[in-house]
Structure 1
């Protein structure tokens, strides 16, 4: 049972993927990380050795610190962060406890980060489904600070080359449709995020994005909401922010509420 300065893997896994998830900082040594170069979803690597220089730059209300076994490194960094006014906990059992039951993102799949530590992505302007769903997945499970550039279709590859941005959901790039799979499916697979809720959500997104609405009964609703959002917003980034809430809701339904039904009319008490 974790102490009041620790969080369990089970509790953290319930927070990851939600808007209220804490920032996750991986402070494993280079030697430990080299033995298993995977990351807790949404985490970023930092060195424990220079925590005093970066602690005050963390822009988060709550942080979970991960080291190899949940010992001195994570507790020491968490203590430094609490001095900076940040609510900080150590992951109980560290990364070793996490991988025993949780998902882990392969570090080599992440694009290189910019000078501010963000992954940068570029895709076609005027998104509808996949180009909103993929940014949602990246921000909730891969890189919460990820930057998304929406540009004309003809300029996606050149913008990617000139600005160090990774293209997605466009033909002939790595992060795109493969056979019957849409880009969201590919990201779930490549980032090793194949949990039951995300696979369920991926099926709904694939059905709506590829006009195969028979694949999932929820797909027509997602398609309608997505097309509605695309007409409500002329600014792609504003549409993305609105779409984040839409996919938050679909994810929570896939994870927690698929068996729940509406109770109208309400059952009447016996006379």
Structure 2
């Protein structure tokens, strides 16, 4: 049983990817981080000596504090956050324990430089359909919950990227790291390059996104449904950010289906009260 105000790596892994997941702060020292420069998905590094400076930004949202080994630094920072009325727990075993459990870690070197507010900034073509909604969902749920997305005319992506130090994605061009590769879509590439293949549900979701995005809905039955929903959303919303907000819920639902509900069926008899008979059943 976990100690008070602590959470196991396995339980945290179940929470990551959900819209209600706690924010994760990485309390490792520079020396510790240099030995393993990877982050728990969604984590952001903070200085353990300055919790009073950054605690207010959480606004009561739950936080998990991860030190190198889960020791006293994490307990101290979590206690400080709690006295600031921020629900906080420490991660048992810290980042080392997470890694020892074989859970996914995101290489820091793969992430864009953060802006003055600590956010990653991304830019892509306006009027998104599939990949350009799926990738922002992936980034916000597994990489940077505060990530910023700029949707601009295709001809302006490069200029906007340069002016705002934003990272282009799902666009063509030399030197673009985050785009299609062969028969794989950008979502596929991000799942692999960001070290997230350790989440089986994400790998299953990637196949659905690939089928919907690359014109091959026959790959899996769900791809045709995702394509239909994506095209419908693109016609419902003239504003790309409003479309992204609506699309986040679609991918939240698909991820939970991939993780928890692929074996569940829906039929009339499965929703009957115990002992009731389906209509027309004469037995």
TM-score (norm 2): 0.93
Deviation string for 1:216-241 (max 9, x for gaps)? 11111000000000000000000000
- Say whether residues 1:264 and 2:268 are aligned partners: yes
Deviation string for 1:20-47 (max 9, x for gaps)? 0001000011111111010000000001
Q: For structure 1, which runs of at least 5 residues remain unmatched after alignment?
A: none
From the superposition, tell whether residues 60 and 180 of structure 1 become closer, same or farther in structure 2 (CA, over 3 Å). Answer: farther
- Say whether residues 1:224 and 2:228 are aligned partners: yes
SS in 2 for 1:48: coil
Identify the residue that residue 178 of structure 1 maps to in structure 2: 181
SS in 2 for 1:215: coil
Identify the residue that residue 121 of structure 2 maps to in structure 1: 120
**Counterpart contact for 1:106–1:191, Cα < 8 Å:** yes
Identify the residue that residue 18 of structure 2 maps to in structure 1: 18
Deviation string for 1:126-157 (max 9, x for gaps)? 00000000000000000000000000000001
Q: For structure 2, which runs of at least 5 residues remain unmatched after alignment?
A: 278-282
* Aligned-residue offset at 1:56: 2.7
* Aligned-residue offset at 1:52: 2.7
* Aligned-residue offset at 1:59: 3.6
Identify the residue that residue 135 of structure 1 maps to in structure 2: 136
Identify the residue that residue 37 of structure 1 maps to in structure 2: 37
Q: Kindly report the root-mean-square deviation, in angstroms, between the aligned alpha carbons of the 2 structures.
A: 1.2
- Structure 1 stretch 141-150 or stretch 209-218: which is displaced more? 209-218
Deviation string for 1:136-181 (max 9, x for gaps)? 0000000000000000000001100111000000002110000001
From the superposition, tell whether residues 240 and 60 of structure 1 become closer, same or farther in structure 2 (CA, over 3 Å). Answer: farther
What are the within-5 Å matches in structure 2 for residues 48-59 of structure 1? 48-59=48-59
Separation of aligned partners in 1, 2:227 and 2:262 = 19
**Counterpart contact for 1:22–1:60, Cα < 8 Å:** no
Identify the residue that residue 256 of structure 2 maps to in structure 1: 252
* Aligned-residue offset at 1:51: 2.1
Pick the structure with greater CA Rg: 2
* Runs of 4+ displaced beyond 6 Å: none
TM-score (norm 1): 0.97
Identify the residue that residue 190 of structure 2 maps to in structure 1: 187
Separation of aligned partners in 1, 2:161 and 2:218 = 35
Match of 1:241 among 245, 252, 259: 245
**Counterpart contact for 1:23–1:60, Cα < 8 Å:** no
Identify the residue that residue 83 of structure 1 maps to in structure 2: 83
* Aligned-residue offset at 1:4: 1.8
Separation of aligned partners in 1, 2:58 and 2:217 = 43
- Structure 1 stretch 124-133 or stretch 98-107: which is displaced more? 98-107
SS in 2 for 1:261: coil
Separation of aligned partners in 2, 1:60 and 1:193 = 28
* Aligned-residue offset at 1:60: 4.6
Separation of aligned partners in 2, 1:189 and 1:17 = 16
What are the within-5 Å matches in structure 2 for residues 176-215 of structure 1? 176-194=179-197, 195-215=199-219
Aligned residues: 271
